[in-house]
Amino acid sequence: MARTRSDSPTLFDLPVRPDFQMEARLLREGLAPVAGLDEAGRGPLAGPVVAAAVILDGNRLPDGLDDSKRLSAQARERLFDAVLDMAVSVSVASLCATSIDGSDILRASLEAMRRAAAGLCVTPLFALADGRDVPPGLCCPARAVVKGDQRSQSIAAASIVAKVTRDRMMGRASRTAPHHGFETHMGYGTKRHRTAITEHGAVLRLHRMSFAPLRNLAEPVTASKGRNADQPLMETGDEKTVGRQPA
């Protein structure tokens, strides 16, 4: 994987909210369109890692874009709709728990970002990727931006799309594994989630068995005990959805 030199901002360098300055600079250099890339779900014990790629229209920016972690769920939902309505192109990709276990979470996150960028209906000439690493195999040159979701509106938009998409996927997962409460903790290692794993076991294809709390489980992995035997287990698998075409 490609790693750029660290551009870690100091606390005083961070804007109050992300802006469009990085994108505007690239546009002046003729590198348009610019895509923002971000992911959601690196830390949970269950569920996919989801990445989004967003190309914004600099003349039509959604109001209130920010790092998804600094927004309420209601604000994220509103901005998710605004981004899908106003962006030039949006793409989402995910890698399931099985894929994460087959490599590692960093590689899976970067691969999800690569797939999201590849799924854009408009090919970007440059990408801004949140974090310290440029995803290998991107369709265009890119720059890794530390705390990018707090600095770039394109990355902030991608962070919102990825977060809302993943939360909805975990809400669906809760229907087939009701004892685990995925709709409340989204797969993160909360006390309720760890207790549910102890009492009901891990959920096949949803839990990340390579992660430390699950790696040494004494009992075999099972589907949720609360599931009807005829009901298929929902696997949050590798998938990609592409947003709207430009008007």
What confidence score (pLDDT) does residue 176 get? Answer: 87
Q: How far is the C-alpha of 161 from the C-alpha of 164, rounded, in Å?
A: 5
Q: With the C-alpha atoms ordered 71, 77, 82, 85, is the resulting torsion angle positive or negative? A: positive
What confidence score (pLDDT) does residue 14 get? Answer: 63
Which DSSP string do the residues of 120-156 spell out, in sequence order? Answer: -SS--SEEEEESSEEPTT-SS-EEEETTGGGTBHHHH
Q: Answer yes or no: are the C-beta atoms of 224 and 68 closer than 8 Å.
A: no
In the block, which residue shows the tokens 């989204």? 186
CATH 3.40.190.10 fits 2-170+237-242, yes or no: no
Helices (H), the chain: 21-28, 73-86, 97-102, 105-118, 153-176, 182-185, 191-200, 212-215
Q: Write down the domain spans for the chain.
A: 2-170+237-242
What confidence score (pLDDT) does residue 49 get? Answer: 98
What's the average pLDDT block by block, 10 residues per block, for the chain (247 residues)?
52 75 97 98 97 97 97 97 98 97 96 98 98 98 97 98 98 92 95 93 92 75 45 45 48
Q: Which two tokens stand for residue 186?
A: 């989204």
Q: Give the count of beta carbons closer than 10 Å to the beta carbon of residue 46.
A: 28
What confidence score (pLDDT) does residue 212 get? Answer: 86
Residue 76: strand, helix, or coil: helix
What confidence score (pLDDT) does residue 235 get? Answer: 43
What confidence score (pLDDT) does residue 230 get? Answer: 34
Stated pTM of the model: 0.86
